[in-house]
Protein backbone atom coordinates (compact mmCIF):
# COMPACT_ATOMS: atom_id res chain seq x y z
CA UNK A 1 0.00 0.00 0.00
CA UNK A 2 2.80 2.41 0.93
CA UNK A 3 4.64 1.66 -2.31
CA UNK A 4 1.50 2.30 -4.32
CA UNK A 5 0.88 5.60 -2.51
CA UNK A 6 4.48 6.67 -3.04
CA UNK A 7 4.34 5.81 -6.74
CA UNK A 8 1.09 7.75 -7.14
CA UNK A 9 2.55 10.78 -5.37
CA UNK A 10 5.67 10.64 -7.55
CA UNK A 11 3.55 10.49 -10.70
CA UNK A 12 1.57 13.55 -9.57
CA UNK A 13 4.77 15.49 -8.82
CA UNK A 14 6.27 14.62 -12.21
CA UNK A 15 3.02 15.52 -13.99
CA UNK A 16 2.81 18.86 -12.14
CA UNK A 17 6.40 19.77 -13.02
CA UNK A 18 5.80 18.78 -16.66
CA UNK A 19 2.64 20.91 -16.88
CA UNK A 20 4.40 23.91 -15.30
CA UNK A 21 7.31 23.53 -17.70
CA UNK A 22 4.91 23.36 -20.65
CA UNK A 23 3.08 26.49 -19.45
CA UNK A 24 6.38 28.36 -19.14
CA UNK A 25 7.75 27.25 -22.52
CA UNK A 26 4.46 27.91 -24.34
CA UNK A 27 3.80 31.25 -22.60
CA UNK A 28 3.09 32.98 -25.91
CA UNK A 29 0.15 30.58 -26.43
CA UNK A 30 -1.28 29.89 -22.98
CA UNK A 31 -0.96 33.37 -21.44
CA UNK A 32 -3.10 35.12 -24.11
CA UNK A 33 -5.68 32.33 -23.85
CA UNK A 34 -5.87 32.73 -20.06
CA UNK A 35 -6.32 36.49 -20.40
CA UNK A 36 -8.88 36.02 -23.19
CA UNK A 37 -10.99 33.67 -21.04
CA UNK A 38 -10.77 36.16 -18.17
CA UNK A 39 -11.92 39.04 -20.39
CA UNK A 40 -14.71 36.94 -21.94
CA UNK A 41 -16.03 36.10 -18.47
CA UNK A 42 -16.19 39.81 -17.65
CA UNK A 43 -17.54 41.10 -20.97
CA UNK A 44 -20.06 38.35 -21.79
CA UNK A 45 -22.96 39.91 -19.76
CA UNK A 46 -22.63 43.10 -21.83
CA UNK A 47 -22.50 41.06 -25.04
CA UNK A 48 -25.61 39.13 -24.02
CA UNK A 49 -27.60 42.29 -23.20
CA UNK A 50 -26.62 43.99 -26.46
CA UNK A 51 -27.54 40.91 -28.51
CA UNK A 52 -31.12 41.22 -27.27
CA UNK A 53 -31.48 44.55 -29.10
CA UNK A 54 -28.99 44.51 -31.99
CA UNK A 55 -27.37 41.85 -34.23
CA UNK A 56 -24.70 39.68 -32.64
CA UNK A 57 -21.94 41.06 -34.88
CA UNK A 58 -22.79 44.65 -33.94
CA UNK A 59 -22.85 43.69 -30.25
CA UNK A 60 -19.48 42.01 -30.64
CA UNK A 61 -18.04 45.10 -32.33
CA UNK A 62 -19.21 47.34 -29.48
CA UNK A 63 -17.72 44.99 -26.88
CA UNK A 64 -14.38 44.80 -28.69
CA UNK A 65 -14.21 48.59 -29.02
CA UNK A 66 -14.96 48.93 -25.31
CA UNK A 67 -12.26 46.38 -24.43
CA UNK A 68 -9.66 48.08 -26.63
CA UNK A 69 -10.49 51.51 -25.18
CA UNK A 70 -10.18 50.29 -21.61
CA UNK A 71 -6.87 48.51 -22.28
CA UNK A 72 -5.49 51.47 -24.23
CA UNK A 73 -6.48 53.88 -21.45
CA UNK A 74 -4.82 51.83 -18.71
CA UNK A 75 -1.67 51.19 -20.75
CA UNK A 76 -1.43 54.89 -21.68
CA UNK A 77 -1.72 55.87 -18.03
CA UNK A 78 1.02 53.45 -17.01
CA UNK A 79 3.31 54.58 -19.84
CA UNK A 80 2.67 58.24 -18.97
CA UNK A 81 3.38 57.72 -15.26
CA UNK A 82 6.39 55.46 -15.85
CA UNK A 83 7.77 57.87 -18.45
CA UNK A 84 7.67 60.81 -16.05
CA UNK A 85 9.33 58.76 -13.30
CA UNK A 86 12.00 57.55 -15.74
CA UNK A 87 12.74 61.10 -16.91
CA UNK A 88 13.08 62.27 -13.32
CA UNK A 89 15.37 59.34 -12.55
CA UNK A 90 17.63 60.08 -15.51
CA UNK A 91 17.80 63.77 -14.60
CA UNK A 92 18.70 62.96 -10.97
CA UNK A 93 20.79 59.82 -11.42
CA UNK A 94 23.82 61.52 -9.89
CA UNK A 95 21.89 62.22 -6.69
CA UNK A 96 21.09 58.51 -6.37
CA UNK A 97 24.79 57.73 -6.71
CA UNK A 98 25.72 60.25 -4.00
CA UNK A 99 23.02 58.92 -1.69
CA UNK A 100 24.24 55.36 -2.15
CA UNK A 101 27.85 56.40 -1.49
CA UNK A 102 26.78 58.09 1.76
CA UNK A 103 24.85 55.01 2.83
CA UNK A 104 27.89 52.86 2.03
CA UNK A 105 30.14 55.06 4.14
CA UNK A 106 27.71 54.89 7.07
CA UNK A 107 27.44 51.09 6.82
CA UNK A 108 31.21 50.71 6.55
CA UNK A 109 31.60 52.83 9.70
CA UNK A 110 29.35 50.40 11.54
CA UNK A 111 31.19 47.27 10.46
CA UNK A 112 29.20 46.27 7.35
CA UNK A 113 32.23 45.58 5.15
CA UNK A 114 30.17 43.90 2.40
CA UNK A 115 28.65 47.24 1.55
CA UNK A 116 31.84 48.29 -0.22
CA UNK A 117 31.76 45.17 -2.37
CA UNK A 118 28.24 46.06 -3.48
CA UNK A 119 29.26 49.62 -4.23
CA UNK A 120 31.99 48.40 -6.59
CA UNK A 121 29.25 46.91 -8.79
CA UNK A 122 26.71 49.70 -8.42
CA UNK A 123 26.49 52.99 -10.23
CA UNK A 124 23.80 55.19 -11.72
CA UNK A 125 24.07 53.42 -15.07
CA UNK A 126 22.88 50.20 -13.40
CA UNK A 127 19.68 51.99 -12.33
CA UNK A 128 19.21 53.38 -15.84
CA UNK A 129 19.65 49.94 -17.39
CA UNK A 130 17.01 48.63 -15.02
CA UNK A 131 14.57 51.31 -16.11
CA UNK A 132 15.33 50.60 -19.78
CA UNK A 133 14.76 46.87 -19.22
CA UNK A 134 11.38 47.55 -17.62
CA UNK A 135 10.43 49.84 -20.50
CA UNK A 136 11.37 47.16 -23.00
CA UNK A 137 9.22 44.59 -21.22
CA UNK A 138 6.27 46.98 -21.23
CA UNK A 139 6.65 47.51 -24.97
CA UNK A 140 6.54 43.75 -25.65
CA UNK A 141 3.05 43.69 -24.13
CA UNK A 142 1.66 45.25 -27.32
CA UNK A 143 1.93 42.03 -29.35
CA UNK A 144 0.61 40.07 -26.39
CA UNK A 145 -2.46 42.31 -26.21
CA UNK A 146 -3.11 41.95 -29.95
CA UNK A 147 -3.12 38.14 -29.71
CA UNK A 148 -5.35 38.32 -26.63
CA UNK A 149 -7.91 40.51 -28.40
CA UNK A 150 -8.03 38.05 -31.32
CA UNK A 151 -8.77 35.19 -28.91
CA UNK A 152 -11.45 37.33 -27.22
CA UNK A 153 -13.18 37.99 -30.56
CA UNK A 154 -13.23 34.30 -31.45
CA UNK A 155 -14.30 33.32 -27.95
CA UNK A 156 -17.21 35.74 -27.76
CA UNK A 157 -18.48 34.42 -31.08
CA UNK A 158 -18.58 30.87 -29.72
CA UNK A 159 -19.90 31.33 -26.17
CA UNK A 160 -23.53 30.58 -27.05
CA UNK A 161 -22.62 27.53 -29.13
CA UNK A 162 -20.25 26.27 -26.43
CA UNK A 163 -22.99 26.51 -23.79
CA UNK A 164 -25.36 24.49 -25.99
CA UNK A 165 -22.67 21.86 -26.48
CA UNK A 166 -22.17 21.60 -22.73
CA UNK A 167 -25.91 21.17 -22.14
CA UNK A 168 -25.93 18.31 -24.63
CA UNK A 169 -23.40 16.41 -22.51
CA UNK A 170 -25.99 15.72 -19.81
CA UNK A 171 -26.01 16.14 -16.06
CA UNK A 172 -22.73 14.46 -15.20
CA UNK A 173 -20.33 16.72 -17.09
CA UNK A 174 -22.27 19.42 -18.90
CA UNK A 175 -24.29 20.81 -16.02
CA UNK A 176 -21.27 20.75 -13.73
CA UNK A 177 -19.24 22.80 -16.22
CA UNK A 178 -22.12 25.21 -16.84
CA UNK A 179 -22.71 25.74 -13.12
CA UNK A 180 -19.02 26.13 -12.34
CA UNK A 181 -18.46 28.38 -15.37
CA UNK A 182 -21.33 30.69 -14.42
CA UNK A 183 -20.03 31.00 -10.86
CA UNK A 184 -16.48 31.64 -12.07
CA UNK A 185 -17.74 34.39 -14.40
CA UNK A 186 -19.67 36.04 -11.56
CA UNK A 187 -16.61 35.94 -9.32
CA UNK A 188 -14.38 37.35 -12.06
CA UNK A 189 -16.80 40.23 -12.59
CA UNK A 190 -16.99 40.95 -8.88
CA UNK A 191 -13.22 40.65 -8.55
CA UNK A 192 -12.60 43.23 -11.27
CA UNK A 193 -15.25 45.62 -9.93
CA UNK A 194 -13.74 45.48 -6.44
CA UNK A 195 -10.18 45.76 -7.75
CA UNK A 196 -11.05 48.71 -9.98
CA UNK A 197 -12.90 50.61 -7.26
CA UNK A 198 -10.11 50.04 -4.75
CA UNK A 199 -7.44 50.90 -7.33
CA UNK A 200 -9.11 54.20 -8.16
CA UNK A 201 -9.48 55.02 -4.48
CA UNK A 202 -5.88 54.01 -3.69
CA UNK A 203 -4.50 56.01 -6.62
CA UNK A 204 -6.45 59.11 -5.57
CA UNK A 205 -5.29 58.88 -1.94
CA UNK A 206 -1.65 58.21 -2.94
CA UNK A 207 -1.78 61.27 -5.21
CA UNK A 208 -3.20 63.38 -2.34
CA UNK A 209 -0.60 62.12 0.15
CA UNK A 210 2.39 62.68 -2.13
CA UNK A 211 1.05 66.08 -3.19
CA UNK A 212 0.54 67.16 0.42
CA UNK A 213 4.06 65.99 1.35
CA UNK A 214 5.57 68.08 -1.45
CA UNK A 215 6.92 65.08 -3.33
CA UNK A 216 7.42 65.68 -7.03
CA UNK A 217 5.50 63.65 -9.63
CA UNK A 218 2.45 63.29 -7.38
CA UNK A 219 0.16 62.61 -10.35
CA UNK A 220 2.54 59.93 -11.68
CA UNK A 221 2.68 58.20 -8.29
CA UNK A 222 -1.11 58.19 -8.14
CA UNK A 223 -1.41 56.68 -11.62
CA UNK A 224 1.20 54.00 -10.89
CA UNK A 225 -0.48 53.16 -7.57
CA UNK A 226 -3.77 52.74 -9.45
CA UNK A 227 -2.22 50.33 -11.97
CA UNK A 228 -0.05 48.38 -9.52
CA UNK A 229 -2.96 47.81 -7.15
CA UNK A 230 -4.29 45.21 -9.60
CA UNK A 231 -1.40 42.95 -8.49
CA UNK A 232 -2.10 41.89 -4.87
CA UNK A 233 0.60 42.38 -2.24
CA UNK A 234 3.50 42.93 -4.66
CA UNK A 235 1.92 45.87 -6.51
CA UNK A 236 1.07 47.91 -3.39
CA UNK A 237 4.53 47.19 -1.97
CA UNK A 238 6.22 48.55 -5.09
CA UNK A 239 3.83 51.52 -5.17
CA UNK A 240 4.93 52.32 -1.60
CA UNK A 241 8.66 51.66 -1.92
CA UNK A 242 9.33 53.70 -5.09
CA UNK A 243 7.93 57.05 -3.82
CA UNK A 244 9.82 56.49 -0.56
CA UNK A 245 13.15 56.14 -2.39
CA UNK A 246 12.41 59.20 -4.49
CA UNK A 247 11.42 61.14 -1.37
CA UNK A 248 14.77 60.21 0.18
CA UNK A 249 16.59 61.61 -2.86
CA UNK A 250 14.44 64.71 -3.25
CA UNK A 251 14.31 65.81 0.39
CA UNK A 252 17.69 64.31 1.41
CA UNK A 253 16.09 63.42 4.72
CA UNK A 254 15.53 59.99 6.21
CA UNK A 255 12.79 61.39 8.43
CA UNK A 256 10.77 62.75 5.53
CA UNK A 257 11.20 59.49 3.62
CA UNK A 258 9.93 57.57 6.66
CA UNK A 259 6.92 59.87 6.91
CA UNK A 260 6.06 59.24 3.25
CA UNK A 261 6.62 55.50 3.72
CA UNK A 262 4.42 55.37 6.83
CA UNK A 263 1.59 57.34 5.21
CA UNK A 264 1.59 55.24 2.04
CA UNK A 265 1.77 52.03 4.07
CA UNK A 266 -1.23 53.14 6.09
CA UNK A 267 -3.15 53.79 2.87
CA UNK A 268 -2.25 50.37 1.46
CA UNK A 269 -3.06 48.61 4.74
CA UNK A 270 -6.51 50.19 5.06
CA UNK A 271 -7.24 49.46 1.40
CA UNK A 272 -5.97 45.88 1.18
CA UNK A 273 -6.60 44.57 4.69
CA UNK A 274 -9.74 46.40 5.80
CA UNK A 275 -11.83 47.92 3.01
CA UNK A 276 -11.29 45.44 0.17
CA UNK A 277 -12.21 42.26 2.11
CA UNK A 278 -15.42 43.88 3.28
CA UNK A 279 -16.38 45.05 -0.19
CA UNK A 280 -15.46 41.74 -1.85
CA UNK A 281 -17.39 39.68 0.67
CA UNK A 282 -17.04 36.04 1.64
CA UNK A 283 -17.53 34.72 -1.93
CA UNK A 284 -14.08 35.92 -2.96
CA UNK A 285 -12.34 34.88 0.26
CA UNK A 286 -9.03 33.16 -0.44
CA UNK A 287 -6.15 32.39 1.88
CA UNK A 288 -3.69 35.37 1.78
CA UNK A 289 -0.82 32.89 1.72
CA UNK A 290 -2.23 31.24 -1.39
CA UNK A 291 -2.86 34.62 -3.04
CA UNK A 292 0.76 35.64 -2.54
CA UNK A 293 1.94 32.25 -3.79
CA UNK A 294 -0.24 32.57 -6.90
CA UNK A 295 1.19 36.02 -7.68
CA UNK A 296 4.81 34.84 -7.41
CA UNK A 297 4.19 31.48 -9.09
CA UNK A 298 2.47 32.87 -12.19
CA UNK A 299 4.89 35.81 -12.33
CA UNK A 300 7.70 33.24 -12.39
CA UNK A 301 6.01 31.44 -15.30
CA UNK A 302 4.69 34.38 -17.34
CA UNK A 303 6.29 37.55 -15.96
CA UNK A 304 4.17 40.70 -15.57
CA UNK A 305 1.05 39.19 -17.21
CA UNK A 306 1.30 36.22 -14.85
CA UNK A 307 1.43 38.45 -11.79
CA UNK A 308 -1.86 40.04 -12.88
CA UNK A 309 -3.71 36.88 -13.94
CA UNK A 310 -2.46 34.66 -11.09
CA UNK A 311 -5.23 35.49 -8.62
CA UNK A 312 -8.08 35.13 -11.16
CA UNK A 313 -6.68 31.70 -12.12
CA UNK A 314 -6.56 30.77 -8.43
CA UNK A 315 -10.18 31.88 -7.93
CA UNK A 316 -11.27 29.87 -10.97
CA UNK A 317 -9.49 26.70 -9.76
CA UNK A 318 -10.94 26.97 -6.25
CA UNK A 319 -14.42 27.59 -7.70
CA UNK A 320 -14.15 24.43 -9.80
CA UNK A 321 -13.11 22.52 -6.70
CA UNK A 322 -16.02 23.95 -4.70
CA UNK A 323 -18.56 22.79 -7.30
CA UNK A 324 -17.54 19.12 -7.15
CA UNK A 325 -18.20 17.01 -4.03
CA UNK A 326 -14.91 15.12 -4.26
CA UNK A 327 -12.80 18.30 -4.27
CA UNK A 328 -14.92 20.68 -2.19
CA UNK A 329 -12.60 20.18 0.77
CA UNK A 330 -9.78 21.87 -1.19
CA UNK A 331 -11.84 25.04 -1.68
CA UNK A 332 -12.83 25.03 2.00
CA UNK A 333 -9.23 24.46 3.12
CA UNK A 334 -7.88 27.46 1.19
CA UNK A 335 -10.87 29.79 1.58
CA UNK A 336 -9.25 31.74 4.41
CA UNK A 337 -12.48 31.48 6.41
CA UNK A 338 -13.23 29.68 9.63
CA UNK A 339 -15.41 26.56 9.23
CA UNK A 340 -19.12 26.96 9.86
CA UNK A 341 -19.18 24.06 12.32
CA UNK A 342 -15.66 23.74 13.76
CA UNK A 343 -14.89 20.64 15.80
CA UNK A 344 -14.06 21.41 19.40
The per-residue pLDDT for 114 is 47
The per-residue pLDDT for 338 is 65
Average pLDDT, the chain: 80
136-158 per-position pLDDT tens digit: 666 677 778 888 989 999 988 88
The per-residue pLDDT for 222 is 92
Percent of the chain scoring above 90 in pLDDT: 11
Q: Ranked by mean pLDDT, which of 2-6, 18-22, 40-44, 251-255 comes out on top?
A: 40-44
The per-residue pLDDT for 42 is 92
Which pTM was predicted?
0.81
* Degrees, nearest 5: CA angle 179-183-186: 145
DSSP state of 343: -
Confidence of residue 108 (pLDDT cuts 50, 70, 90): low
Q: Closest Cα partner for 126 from 86, 95, 97?
A: 97
Q: Which 3 state secondary structure label does DSSP give 149?
A: helix
The per-residue pLDDT for 135 is 60
Measured in Å, how far apart are the chain's first and last C-alpha atoms?
32
DSSP 269-280: HIIIIIIHHHHH
The per-residue pLDDT for 35 is 92
Confidence of residue 180 (pLDDT cuts 50, 70, 90): confident
More confident residue, 54 or 286: 54
Measured CA to CA, the distance from residue 34 to residue 39 in angstroms comes to 9
For residues 175-184, average pLDDT: 83
Q: Of the given ranges (24-38, 186-200, 203-217, 316-330), which has the lowest mean pLDDT?
A: 316-330
188-224 per-position pLDDT tens digit: 888 888 889 889 989 999 999 999 888 888 899 999 9
54-67 per-position pLDDT tens digit: 888 898 899 999 99
For residues 286-312, average pLDDT: 86
- Inform me whether the pLDDT recorded for 39 exceeds 90: yes
* Degrees, nearest 5: CA angle 128-134-137: 145
For residues 64-82, average pLDDT: 87
Q: Please name the residues in contact with 251: beta carbons below 8 A apart, sequence gap of 6 or more.
A: 214, 257
Amino acid sequence: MNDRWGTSALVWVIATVAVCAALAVAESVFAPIAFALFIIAIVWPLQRVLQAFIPAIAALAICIVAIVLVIATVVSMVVWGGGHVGQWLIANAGRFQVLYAEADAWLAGHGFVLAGMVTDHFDARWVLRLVQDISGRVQTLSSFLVVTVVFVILGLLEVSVFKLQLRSLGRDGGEFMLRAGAEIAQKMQRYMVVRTVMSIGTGAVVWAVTLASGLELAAAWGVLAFALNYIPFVGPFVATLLPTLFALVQFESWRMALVVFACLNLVQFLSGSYLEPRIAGARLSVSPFLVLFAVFFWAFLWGIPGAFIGVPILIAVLTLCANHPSSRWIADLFSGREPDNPLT
